[in-house]
Structure 1
Amino acid sequence: MPIANIPESYLKIGQESPELLVYDFKMTSDVVNSKVNLSMNMFSFLQIGKKQVHFAGTSVAVNKNQSLLLKKGNWLWTELLDQETIYYCKLLFFSEKILRDFLHKHNIQEHESENEIPYFIIKNDRYIKNYLKSLSTLSETSTPFLNNLLQVKFEELMLYLLQNYDENFEKYLYSLISNEISSFKKIIESKVYSNLKLEEIAFLCNMSLSTFKRHFIKEYEISPGKWLQDKRLQKAKELLENGSFKPAEIYFDSGYNNFSNFSIAFKNKFGVSPKEVYK
């Protein structure tokens, strides 16, 4: 699957990336685990549909009652239609310069945070809904002062979120300009019990599949495919033994696209079928 470079792919040919950009993203079919290289921090105001994103050591899912502020970097996005026949979210991109200027202007002091999370969940309350309407009106307006107005709207939004989410939001804002990179091992072990493919985990590590495999074997002294299979099958066995789930309910999250392949791999490892363990 090709990597989408965002917001570059939304710009006109030859257009340089602006400091602020508003883009209406719409689609009429589901997209699962699309690879996205996000070069700017971004607000994703979900209007219609469902969204799940994976980033390095974590993941998050939201519905149309929530929006996200996402840190720049490599993400896997899953965007799904809900009851309607269209998926729609309004995206607001902002540069690091814009963020630094805002923090400096309002004398917002840096906070130390041990648990750096690359996303911040925002409730789509009445203010946010009205804000998005005003942003849509602004986007439809042709004016030489559009960039200046966008800066005012960006500042308005940030001040509201600071008021609403207090110190938690302040900490998050400073994490957006942090240079820390999650360790290779931390990313791997956070995705053990997901159904992500090796290629997708490699992407989250900013590596090609071949480079990822070399690093993995050096770190764990075993092939990534074998290691992940063993970990996921062991977890599946534990879930079946305590009766938490039926075999047909866990094969996909164990990394298998169909129950038959899961059952064969399970029996090869443990000598019994998943159904026998569940009984």
Structure 2
Amino acid sequence: MSISNYKTGVISPEQFIAEHSFAYIIKGEMQLYDGEHNHLLRSGEFGLARKNRLVRFKKEMINGELEKVFVFFDEPFLRKFQEKHHPTITNFPPGQTIIKLPENELLPNYIQSLLPHYDHGLIAEPFKELKREELLIILLQASPELTGILFDFGIPQKINIEAFMNQNYHFNVSNERFAFLTGRSLSAFKRDFRKVFHDTPGRWLVQKRLQEAYFLIDKQHKKISELYLDLGFETLSHFSYAFKKHFGFAPTELTRHK
């Protein structure tokens, strides 16, 4: 299931990008946050999210719709493409999670060519692989440097756990994800985490998020309803319970004293 299109659909709450993901916005807007930068894709714009990265999605409807096309380039497909087309591999600068691609006159027609083949939000067989291959050829013709990303089949290497966690603590993903992204097994991640932070990942994450929540409410006057998801809490009730348990009073009491 590699190509999908949704109208008034909900973007997956999963904030880990498992496969290189191409997004084209037909109608509406999509906001993406990668831990450092905010990105905005408007109608007619498109970009590529790199695999093994953390990204938070927000959507904006136009007339009640967000219409978009997602195409996922998984490793088996990319290896087959490489064997068939033998693209020249170039270097791509590290760091970028969201790559906003340049205008391409072929893409609007390509997107329109997909629409007749949709069946319940998915591209019907046997067109799926053919259309995915066509898209990748279009992208590489316009941006050949993407080969340095797409055909790099390595896994994340061991990195500085303190810097990574301080940048990404607000993403709602499991310890297994954090371990993988820092280039560690789960046991090594927990061991190294305790050495650096003198606490377990679970307790540290909750405390870090709650401290940020207190600052945002107290100093920046943020609304509770606007921040709990951005800080990695799944529900408002979960956030409120954790906040009261940690500080001794509900977050609403903090706002009432403003």
TM-score under structure 2 length normalisation: 0.62
Q: In 1, distance between residues paired with 2:149 and 2:245?
A: 42
Q: Secondary structure at the match of 1:206?
A: helix
Check whether the contact 1:51–1:79 (CA below 8 A) recurs between aligned residues. yes
Q: Output one character per residue of 1:66-105: Cα deviation in whole Å (capped at 9) or x when no partner.
A: 322233447667575724356541426351453584642x
What is the aligned length?
235
| CA apart distance, 1:126 | 5.5
1:188 pairs with 2:165:
yes
119 and 177 in structure 1: CA distance in 2 versus 1, 3 angstrom threshold: farther
Q: Output one character per residue of 1:126-183: Cα deviation in whole Å (capped at 9) or x when no partner.
A: 5531232245579999999x95x87566433322345xxxxxxx2x531333436253
Matched ranges for 1:258-273 at <5 A? 258=237, 260-261=240-241, 263-265=243-245, 267-268=247-248
Give the one of 77, 95, 98 matched to 2:78: 95
Gaps of 5+ in 1: 1-9, 11-21, 163-169
Check whether the contact 2:78–2:150 (CA below 8 A) recurs between aligned residues. no
Bigger Cα Rg: 1
Give the one of 145, 151, 154 matched to 1:177: 151
Gaps of 5+ in 2: none
Match of 2:212 in 1: 235
Match of 2:49 in 1: 70
Point out the structure with the larger strand share. Answer: 1
Q: Percent identity?
A: 17
Match of 1:223 in 2: 200
Matched ranges for 1:1-279 at <5 A? 10=1, 23-26=3-6, 29-34=9-14, 38-39=18-19, 41-48=20-27, 51=30, 62-73=41-52, 78=57, 80=59, 82-83=61-62, 84=64, 87-91=67-71, 93=73, 95-96=78-79, 98=81, 101=85, 103-104=87-88, 109-110=90-91, 113=93, 115-122=94-101, 127-134=106-113, 147=130, 154-161=136-143, 170=145, 172-178=146-152, 179=154, 181=156, 183=159, 185=161, 186-192=163-169, 194=170, 196-197=171-172, 199=174, 202-206=176-180, 211=187, 213=190, 216-241=193-218, 243-246=219-222, 248=224, 249-256=226-233, 257-258=236-237, 260-261=240-241, 263-265=243-245, 267-268=247-248, 274-275=254-255, 279=258
